[in-house]
């Protein structure tokens, strides 16, 4: 009678192990790995052993999920950005860096740093990375293939990163250990480290020198080969995906993981191929369920149009004129019978005496694949700093003069799980209380899932799939005479 097993059931597997019976004693010649005439230093020996240990661990384990603490807030009156902490160097040192999905490279301020801020009103330390103080730091040479996109005119793998707001960071590339917190099993977390390439920035301009929002650098999470996501996934120690859930309060916090946040109500839309940023196809916009009369070509990607970009490094949300004005007018029309704008010629701000949820409409961004991002009033309205009632709330959408461009920043990304599935070339989202625990996994296709709390690293197993591992016994030919082979059954 045929027998079937459910997933997770114990399965009896008959394996065959080959046993070699040989003549003994056998003689082996041993030689030193290093010459006594040219001794190797202790630091190099430890480094060689460390590399070997990481190779062994990579062969034995599947990609890990790494979690990071989150601070900051979407509110432009307080910070207008979210940041995390990375640990670099030997001995490890902490650096608070802005989370930015709109750029590729990780960079930190380095010593000497010309004109760099030494403090921040975000109440986080602004540390400088010193390559000479880390025993595992090394320069990236011009001949290194990882320097192919950099400038080597001064015989150093140099870079200059220019951002959309006009800010710049320039310096040179180094490699060093990044120390990572592995989301563990059974409320146990562990640490790992990986050698990564990042920018050592000696000069910054623009907002990066603003002490109100100064950080120690930027964690670029783009799709380029030098992004931390690409580097860790190429080594096989992390999935090619990351996720975040930013708390939409002035206290900030939230969750950021390299891996997948698992949520049953997740909605996905495909990424646009061959684009530098996380571009998606926005097809239409609705207010209270009514599709606005906006030509779909407004959102198309063309030679002079960038389409729609998901960017955690942007504070607000920006629309070209062809989309911006219809959105604002539709919102104003929807609340006309309840509240009046403070400026009748510019219906952006309103004095409110009751809950905004009872007055303002839902705005829906409708994407390719049928997925819609529904924005509640608190997802697009900004409270102003008012002392007395009534409270003043303003529409956080802004007009951008670049035609055919939409940039969705933290204003609309907060209070949502956002999953960047680079491997599957899609982005997913779901409304969520980002102060609650979440399930994370190294894959979206089953496997192990753990629960992570915002601001914490404690985890627990919530579901699993039992995987059968097949063991292949091989015969080592050692150059000695062997008589015969026999097979021993092995039960699991």
What string of H, E and C letters represents the secondary structure of 88-106? ECCCCEEEEEEEECCCCCE
Domain stops at, among 431, 458, 478:
431
Residues 372 and 269 placed together within one structural domain of the fold? yes
pLDDT tens track for 410-422: 999 999 999 999 9
Model pLDDT, residue 447: 42
Across 166-170, average pLDDT: 91
Residue ending a domain, choose from 256, 272, 293: 256
Q: What is the mean pLDDT of residues 364-389?
A: 90
Lowest mean pLDDT among 196-205, 278-287, 473-482: 473-482
Q: Name, in order, each residue with C-beta under 8 angstroms of 30's C-beta and a sequence gap of 6 or more.
A: none
Q: What is the pTM for the complete model shown?
A: 0.78
Domain identity same for 250 and 270:
no
CA dihedral defined by 194, 199, 204, 205, rounded to 10 degrees? -100
Percentage of the residues of the chain whose pLDDT score is greater than 70: 75
What pLDDT score was predicted for residue 357? 93
For residue 317, the enclosing domain spans: 264-431
Specify whether 213 is located in the same domain as 291: no
- Catalytic pick from 67, 75, 176, 311? 311
How much is the pLDDT for 228? 96
Reduced to 3 states (helix: H, G, I; strand: E, B; else coil), residue 330 is helix
- Same-domain status, 190 and 288: no
| Residue of higher predicted confidence among 330 and 224 | 330
Q: Is 50 exceeded by the pLDDT of residue 16?
A: no
Question: Residue 11: its pLDDT value, please?
Answer: 32
| Residue of 98, 72, 105, 88 lying closest to 220 (CA atoms) | 105
Instruction: Output the pLDDT for position 312.
Output: 94
Please report the pLDDT score of residue 239 as a whole number. 95
Cβ-Cβ contacts under 8 Å for 32 (sequence gap 6 or more): none
Let me know: does 280 contact 272? Beta carbons within 8 Å: yes
Q: How many CB atoms lie within 10 A of CB 291?
A: 12
Say whether both 280 and 138 belong to one domain: no
Q: Are 228 and 66 in contact (CB under 8 A)?
A: no
Do both 211 and 112 map to the same domain? yes
- Using the 3D structure, point to which of 200, 222, 256 is the last residue of a domain: 256
The owner of tokens 């097979």 is 487
Residue 252 confidence (pLDDT): 72
Mean pLDDT of the chain: 80
Q: How many domains does the chain have?
A: 2
Give the mean pLDDT of 253-265.
92
Kindly tell me if the per-residue pLDDT of 107 is higher than 90.
Answer: yes
Supply the pLDDT for residue 24.
Answer: 42
Which of the following is catalytic: 67, 100, 410, 421?
Answer: 100
Q: What is the pLDDT of residue 389?
A: 73
Q: Residues 100-116: what's their mean pLDDT?
A: 93
Nearest C-alpha neighbor of 475 from the set 490, 467, 486? 486
219 and 279 co-located in one domain? no
CATH code: domain of residue 134: 2.40.70.10
Catalytic-residue membership of 23: no
> Could you report the per-residue pLDDT of 449-472, keeping only the tens digit for each?
455 555 543 333 233 232 322 222
- H/E stretch holding 115 reads none
Is 38 catalytic? The answer is no
Same domain, 394 and 361: yes
80 is a domain residue: yes
How does pLDDT run across 195-215, given as a tens digit for each residue? 999 999 999 999 898 988 999
Which range, 51-65, 311-325, 373-387, 447-461, has the best average confidence (pLDDT)?
Answer: 311-325
- For 2, 8, 10, 12, 464, the CA distances from 5, given in Å and listed in that order, are 10, 8, 8, 10, 16
Mean pLDDT is lowest, of 61-75, 291-305, 441-455, for 441-455
Residue 13 to residue 491: CA distance in whole angstroms: 6
């Amino acid at each position: 009678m045929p027998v079937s097993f459910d997933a997770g059931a114990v399965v009896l597997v008959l394996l065959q192990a080959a046993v070699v019976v040989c003549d003994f004693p056998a003689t082996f010649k041993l030689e030193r790995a290093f010459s006594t005439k040219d001794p190797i230093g202790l630091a190099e020996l430890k480094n060689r052993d460390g590399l070997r240990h990481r190779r062994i661990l990579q062969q034995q384990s599947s990609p890990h999920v790494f979690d990071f603490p989150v601070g900051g807030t979407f509110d432009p009156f307080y910070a207008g950005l979210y940041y995390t902490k990375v640990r670099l160097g030997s001995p490890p040192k902490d650096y608070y860096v802005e989370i930015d999905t709109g750029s590729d490279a990780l960079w930190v301020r380095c010593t000497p740093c010309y004109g760099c801020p030494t403090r921040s009103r975000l109440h986080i330390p602004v540390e400088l990375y010193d390559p000479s103080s880390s025993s595992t730091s090394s320069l990236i040479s011009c001949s290194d293939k990882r320097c192919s996109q950099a400038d080597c005119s001064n015989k150093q793998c140099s870079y200059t990163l220019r951002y959309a707001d006009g800010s710049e960071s320039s310096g040179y590339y180094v490699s060093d250990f990044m120390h990572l917190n592995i989301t563990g099993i059974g409320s146990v977390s562990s640490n790992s480290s990986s050698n990564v390439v990042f920018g050592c920035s000696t000069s910054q301009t623009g907002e990066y020198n603003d002490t109100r929002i100064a950080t120690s650098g930027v964690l670029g999470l783009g799709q380029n080969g030098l992004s931390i996501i690409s580097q860790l996934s190429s080594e096989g120690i992390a999935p090619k995906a990351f996720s975040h859930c930013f708390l939409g309060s002035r206290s900030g916090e939230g969750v950021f993981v390299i891996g997948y946040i698992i949520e049953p109500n997740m909605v996905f839309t495909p990424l646009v191929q061959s684009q530098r940023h996380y571009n998606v196809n926005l097809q239409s916009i609705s207010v209270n369920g009514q599709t606005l009369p906006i030509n779909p070509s407004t959102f198309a990607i063309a030679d002079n149009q960038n389409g729609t970009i998901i960017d955690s490094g942007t504070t607000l949300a920006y629309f070209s004129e062809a989309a911006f004005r219809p959105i604002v007018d539709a919102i104003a029309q929807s609340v006309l019978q309840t509240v009046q704008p403070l400026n009748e010629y510019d219906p952006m701000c309103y004095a409110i005496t009751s809950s905004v949820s009872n007055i303002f409409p839902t705005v829906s961004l409708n994407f390719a694949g049928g997925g819609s991002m529904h924005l509640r009033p608190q997802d697009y309205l900004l409270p102003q700093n008012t002392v007395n009632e009534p409270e003043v709330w303003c529409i956080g959408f802004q007009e951008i003069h670049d035609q055919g461009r939409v940039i969705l920043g933290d204003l609309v990304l907060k209070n949502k799980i956002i999953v960047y599935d680079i491997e599957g070339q899609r982005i997913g989202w779901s409304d969520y209380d980002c102060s609650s625990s979440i399930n994370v996994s190294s894959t979206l296709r089953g496997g192990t899932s753990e629960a992570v709390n915002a601001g914490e690293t404690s985890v627990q197993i919530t579901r699993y799939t039992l995987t059968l591992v097949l063991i292949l016994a091989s015969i080592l030919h050692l150059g000695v005479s062997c008589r015969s082979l026999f097979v021993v059954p092995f039960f699991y």
